[in-house]
Structure 1
Amino acid sequence: MEIVITTNLKRGQVGMKKYKLTDNISFLASVMRQASKASFVFVLLRIPLEVIIPYIGIWFPNLIVRAIGESVNRTHLFTQAAILGGLLVVLSLVNQYGKGIVSAESAYVRMKLTDMLNDHLMDCSYDMLGDKKVMQSLSQASQRIWSNTGFLVNAGENTVAFFSAVAGVVVYLAVLSKLPFWVILLLIAATVVSFLTSGFGEKIRQKRNDYFGENVSRLLELSSEMSDAAKGKDVRLYQMHPWVNHYYNIYNKKLNREYGHIAKWNFISDSIGTVLSFAADAVVYLCLTAFAMQGKITIAEYVLYIGAATGFTAWVRQVTGLLQRVWKVNGDLSCVRTFLDTDSREEEQGQSIPSGGWVCAADVLKKGDPCEVEFDRVSYRYPNNEKDTLKELSFKIKAGEKIGLVGMNGAGKSTLIKLLCGLIRPTSGHIRINGVDITSMERTECYKLFSTVFQDLHIFPVSIKDNIVWDGQVDEAYFAQCLEQADLAEWVSSLKEKENTKLVQELEEGAVNLSGGQSQKLLLARALYKNAPILLLDEPTAALDPIAESNIYEKYNQLSAHKTSIFISHRLASTRFCDRIFLMEDGRIAEEGTHEELLKKAGSYAKMFEVQRQYYV
């Protein structure tokens, strides 16, 4: 029986590809092998062992009964029994040891799948983070991986259990093959019907995957509203928790209703399988007893067939019991692969590897350091938007020049920065660094050219040193110099754990939280340590007062000597030290010049500066 799941490959499109159950099993096997080769080897080894060990068990009584009936020599009988018993002990020990390995490493598969999601997310262009359907696909995949009720909780053990049960059904059916054909046909029919009726509920769940994903995402978002420190202030001061609880209960009831529907059909599936199993058992036992009484089979054969029939039934029950999990993991893996098969932005635009191969950052720097930057008729439109955010934008920045980028919210300043450093690609036009088009560079190589500080300050819950140095290769002397230049050295030295002090108190016991100014200095130290040829500051001081912001920008100015730099700010006075200032309006550069030149023009820049001076000067 072929089970297929329709999935989403292109952004915002559904039903582009179908995953077979066999393909998902092959995919899971590959993941298990990558997650732990030792565990994977024992999974493969234990599948036959799980069948062989009980198989020896049903032959043992047959051997004894036959020996008694045929008056076999005791020594010969004891020798056979000892060999079988010793083999059984050895195989059982190996199986038990393998079970310990597989169980101990059970989390590795889920961790590997999560790594694959993260790797693919990092391989996708930045603008995909704003695509609701793509992010919902990622959220659903993560939820499926870390659900504690599915196949993936212990993928190794469940794989052994399922495939050993399938093998057991085949082997034990072969043992019973000497029975009348109609008895075999009855057992096969009961098995097939159990297979076809298994997992009704999980099949319904797969068809309703989008519905479940949307409502689970809503529940998680509402839960975060209550626990998030920033949002929690409004929730408490405005007494919004009854409103949050109201919608939480609505979505929860919808999910519970669906889960109840799934549980009902799973119960029906289980009941059908159980009834068929008991009915087949009863018929087989009656037949075997009648055959033995009629002398058609010996007592030894009767003992063997009874054991085989009992074992066959146990294997069938194990298969049908696990089929629900198999159907569920089929849906889970299809959900994971849906995200993994989502095309990146460049692939959708049909970009291919340049004929001369990818250009490295080192090749760009050979043409000059600091770097020259050029935008040549660059336009950019965000996915699902009807208008371009940037429109035919053209300018050149000389090597080592400092540019101030100012303008109202929505003018396109942040979009320009994202385009320049390769987070997103132009809809049309060309961006060149030292004459090299950045589309001829892989994203990771392009990133090497930039030290950046963005307006959303994110401090990670690791040590101060790890927040600054990410590649693990620490130049201690240069690290100390960066702390000194960022005015952090004295504060860091006053801490008990020095640069190894953990940050983000809410997540790490004994950690410290940084003030806004300290966060700015930490990110300055990170940018200094990277020491890239182009420095980009995208309103990192928006939350600071004007004086503090001006001081921070002056600090960046002092430390960015011999670097091409772009400074973005709402406050025009903060960028007056720049060589040139670009005023952006509606996706274009409306005015350009030094601070003094722009004031003399008495245009939009001068008017904005005059308005701001009343508040900040």
Structure 2
Amino acid sequence: MKMTIKQRYKITFRGYRILGKYCPGLIGFKIIGSIIESISPFINIWVSAQIINVIANDKSINKLFMYVLLAVITNFIFAIIKNVVDRISGVKEASMWDCFSKIFCDKQMSVDFVDLENVEYQHLKQKAEENLFMFGNGLAQLVWDTPGMINVIVSILASTALSISLFLADSSIKWLNSPAWILVVFLLIVIEGYILDKSKKKEQVIFSKWSDGSVWFNRAFDFYGQNLDLDLQRAKDVRIYRQDKIAENEINKMIIHNMREDGLITKMSYYQGISSFSAGVINALCYLFIVLKTYFGAFPVGNMVQYVGTLVKMTENFGNLTSALAENKIYCQHLQKLYEFLDMSGQDVAEHKTKLFDSMNNPIKKELHIEFRNVSFKYPGSDIYVLKNVSAKFDEGNKYAIVGQNGSGKTTFVKLLCRLYEPTEGEILLNGYNINEFDFKEYLRYLAVVFQDFQLFSFGIGQNVAAGIDYDPEKVELSIRKAGISDRVKNMPEGLETCLYRDFSENGVEISGGEAQKIALARAIYKNAPLMILDEPTSALDPIAEAEVYSSFDNIANSLITIYISHRLSSCKFCDVVTVFDKGMIVQRGAHNDLLLDVEGKYYELWNAQAKYYHTKHKKSLRKE
């Protein structure tokens, strides 16, 4: 799709607004540095011309000294300013990539959670990241090309100002004084710009072919050349199954493929050579015109130096202007891909719902009641319901178990309750009010969740448990004691300040999956929220550690309502109400013992399947002994 100048203007200045937000000051310092860099050569050209004229004509020592001093002082001041500006912009540019990452982080946090799992969202995100980080296109190109554009504009204006007298000065040859020479020189400059533009377009077509192949190459090489060998999670399989041999074979294929692409680079060089040759010819013609006017007495020899320098600069910069406009078209196309990603999806539910309740006004005082009322859910663009007509109440003071086979809808149920998803149909009520009527951040205060795929971070133990920079040490210690990991933490080198993992600290501690799960459980306990949701909280624990957690379950689950999700049905004995999911629907609900009486029910089937497994496993263990 062809872009108009107006569209390119909007795209470019939106890019500047994004840079102003995420990289404040970077473009401003780049522009200041470019203006200084652009003006300096013309000051030197003008001063040099004046010095030559003084030497060749009146030979005034005072004038000569004045011009030399002017040149020295001007260059000294400009050099100091330029050095300061370059240092500042250099520091800002060095952190530019981290700032760009923040763009994606902010987008990730602003969209509906369900969109994060959307294939189209992931595809657009990948394309935007590849354009930005793999080739430096889009925003980075805008940063790098802005000084060039400023240089072109300033240089053309300065060249025009210093060249006007070339056409006004009369020589002894009348035909050299014709105003038509202004048009001739201008046409030569336009022709050079046209040739450069055509060469640039041809070069860009080839570059697009080359970059399309390079995206695949870089992505594949990143996996086979780095991730496969360096990722510790894959290390065991790589060694045992010698997957490094597969990687080596794939890398050799890619290298051969990439060598074939070298011909495209040669073609790009060919078009660069054409534009350079044409620029040389046009500069020579302009130089001849100036020499003739000088020879026939239109102006002193010093002025010839000024005009040669300025016309060469003008020709060069008109060509650069064409090139800059062509580059602008290129990075506008890449910026469009970034904008497609940034403009995708609505804002998070936290942003686009009317809030009736916040921290100053909420209906939760003493009691807590949650109700799913005819809730159904299907993913956007899908006709298949993951949950269908789910209705259930959860009252204060009770512990609830959610059970069911994989894919029965348990995790979706949790995500709906956490407002990561919104119901397709029906509503979820908190004390009689739709949960979307609450301020999102305020609503999250009521929840303490341990997800099945929970994440800990490379911070200190205390910060991980408190989920914040500042924390109450006594409260953290109480939480880790309830979670059953107090002894392990006490033996760590820096206690609660011990950093998990070694991403940022050489003294960081690597922990097992079970230990990590207990710390995640301590984090939920520390929050002391009215509603606690535990999604497979003992899946990484051994049977003894799991039994310890169950035995202290009343102490751990100190929230008003606790919802426990597990594949291990032995946990249901500790809960007041068991809710059984099957194929996206609630098929049974009641106490553990009552549900076992229904021999035709799903819960009886699940319970006996697991009991049979453990019984068989116990028999095998006895035989071995």
Interval containing the TM-score (normalised by the shorter chain): 0.7 to 0.9
The whole-number CA distance in structure 1 between the counterparts of 2:358 and 2:251 is: 49
Letter of the 1:452 counterpart: V
State how far apart, in whole Å, the 1-side matches of 2:419 and 2:19 are: 34
Query: After the TM superposition, which residues 183-198 of structure 1 pair with which residues of structure 2 at under 5 Å, given as runs?
Result: 183-198=185-200
- Structure 1 residues 389 and 208 mapped into 2: Cα distance closer, same or farther (>3 Å)? farther
Q: Helix, strand or coil: the match of 2:233? A: helix
Higher mean Cα deviation, 117-126 or 64-73?
64-73
Alpha carbons of structure 1 residues 542 and 365: separation in structure 2 relative to 1, 3 Å: farther
1:452 is paired with a residue of what secondary structure? strand
Secondary structure of 1:582's match?
strand
Partner amino acid, structure 2, of 1:307:
G
Residue in 2 that maps onto 1:142? 129
CA drift at 1:53: 0.9
**Partner Cα separation in structure 2 for residue 470 and residue 174 of structure 1:** 63
Instruction: Give the drift of 1:326.
Output: 5.0
Partner Cα separation in structure 2 for residue 139 and residue 249 of structure 1: 25
Given that 1:58 and 1:307 are in contact with CA atoms closer than 8 Å, whether structure 2 keeps it comes out as: yes
Task: Using the TM superposition, give the Cα deviation of residue 84 of structure 1 relative to its aligned residue in structure 2, in angstroms.
Answer: 4.3
The answer to whether residue 469 in structure 2 is matched with residue 472 in structure 1 is yes
* Equivalent position to 1:610, from 608, 611, 617: 608
Q: Tell me the alpha carbon deviations over residues 438-482 of structure 1, each in whole angstroms, 9 at most, x when there is no partner.
A: 233454443332111111243323322332233323233322322
Residue among 44, 47, 64 paired with 2:34: 47
1:31/1:112 contact within 8 Å kept: no
Conserved? CA contact 2:363–2:431, under 8 Å: no
Say how many residue pairs are matched: 598
Q: 2:272 aligns with which of 270, 273, 277?
A: 270
CA contact (8 A) 2:463 2:471 kept: no
Overall identity of the aligned pairs, in % = 24
CA 206–134 in structure 1, closer or farther in 2 if over 3 Å, else same: farther
Residue identity matched to 1:493: K
Structure-2 change in CA distance of 1:433 and 1:211 (3 Å):
farther
Q: Which residue identity lines up with residue 130 of structure 1 in the other structure?
A: E
CA spacing shift, 1:147–1:561, aligned 2, 3 Å? same
- Residues 563-617 of structure 1, C-alpha deviations (whole Å, 9 max, x = no match): 2111011111112211100010111100110001101122221122122112336
Q: Does 1:596 align with 2:593?
A: yes
CA distance in 1, matches of 2:223, 2:396: 46
Asked whether 1:293 is paired with 2:295, we answer yes
Are 2:445 and 1:448 equivalent residues in the alignment? yes
- SS of 1:576's equivalent? helix
* Aligned counterparts of 1:62 and 1:383: Cα–Cα separation in 2: 71
Q: Which one of the candidate residues 385, 388, 391 is aligned to 2:385?
A: 388
Q: 1:231 aligns with which of 230, 234, 242?
A: 234
Aligned 1:500-519 pairs, distance under 5 A: 500-505=497-502, 508-519=505-516
Q: Which residue of 1 aligns with 2:80?
A: 93
Aligned to 1:409: 406
Bigger Cα displacement from structure 2, 571-580 vs 214-223: 214-223
Deviation at 1:556, TM superposition (A): 4.4
Distance 2:580 2:460 in 1: 39
2:114 is matched with: 127
Structure 1 unaligned spans of 5+: 6-17
- The CA distance in 2 between the partners of 1:383 and 1:211, in whole Å, is 33
Distance in structure 2 (CA, Å) of the matches to 1:465 and 1:154? 42
1:287-315 Cα shifts (integer Å, max 9, x gaps)? 22222223334323211111112333554
Which residue does 1:522 correspond to in 2?
A: 519
Aligned to 2:345: 343
Deviates more, 1:360-369 or 1:89-98: 360-369
Partner residue of 2:12 out of 16, 25, 38: 25
Aligned to 1:310: 312
Which amino acid in structure 1 is aligned with residue 343 of structure 2? D
Specify the alignment match of 1:14 in structure 2.
none
Aligned equivalents of 2:546, 2:59: Cα separation in 1:
98
- State the partner residue of 2:618: none
Aligned partners of 2:244 and 2:614: how far apart in 1?
Answer: 38
Q: Distance in 2 between matches of 1:443 and 1:40?
A: 36
Q: Secondary structure at the match of 1:185?
A: helix
Which protein shows a greater Rg? Answer: 2
What's the C-alpha RMSD, in Å, of the aligned pairs? 3.3
Please say if residues 107 and 154 of structure 1, whose CA atoms lie closer than 8 Å, have aligned partners that are also in contact. no
Q: Distance in 2 between matches of 1:239 and 1:537?
A: 39
Cα separation, 2, equivalents of 1:176 and 1:426: 71
- d(CA) in 2 for partners of 1:82, 1:307: 21
Q: 1:276 to 1:447 in 2, by over 3 A?
A: farther
| Cα 1:157–1:210 shift into 2, 3 Å | closer
The answer to whether the 8 A contact 2:141-2:331 is kept is no
Kept in 2, the 8 Å contact 1:553–1:575? The answer is no
More displaced 10-residue stretch of structure 1: 495-504 or 586-595:
495-504
Residue 57 of structure 1, CA deviation: 0.7
Equivalent residue number for residue 173 of structure 2: none
Residue 201 of structure 2 contacts residue 326 of structure 2 at CA under 8 Å; is this kept in 1? yes
| From 548, 557, 561, the counterpart of 1:560 | 557
Distance 1:477 1:141 in 2: 46
* 1-structure distance, mates of 2:88, 2:485: 47
Question: Which one is further off, 304-313 or 357-366?
Answer: 357-366
Q: Label 1:24 to 1:469 Cα distance change in 2 as closer, same or farther (>3 A).
A: farther
Query: What CA deviation, in whole Å up to 9, does each residue of 1:61-109 have, x standing for no partner?
Result: 2212333455275334433442343223212211121011111221333
Structure 1 distance, partners of 2:211, 2:414, is 37
CA distance in 1, matches of 2:137, 2:31: 21
Report deviation, 1:525: 1.4
- Aligned position for 2:170: none
Contact 2:375–2:425 (CA<8 Å) still a contact in 1? yes
For 2:6 and 2:414, locate their aligned partners in 1 and report how far apart those are by CA, in whole Å: 39
What is the DSSP-based 3-state SS (H/G/I as helix, E as strand, rest coil) of the residue aligned with 1:584? strand
| 2:488 is the alignment partner of 1:491 | yes
Deviation at 1:409, TM superposition (A): 0.7
Q: Call closer, same or farther: CA 1:37–1:115 in 2, change over 3 Å.
A: closer
Q: Does 1:66 align with 2:60?
A: no
| SS in structure 1 of the partner of residue 95 of structure 2 | helix
Following superposition, the deviation at residue 127 of structure 1 comes to 2.0
CA shift in 2, pair 1:467/1:200, >3 Å: farther
For structure 2, the residue ranges without an aligned partner over 5 or more in a row are: 168-180, 616-625
Q: Deviations over 1:334-358 (max 9, x none)?
A: 33222211113879xxx9945xx32
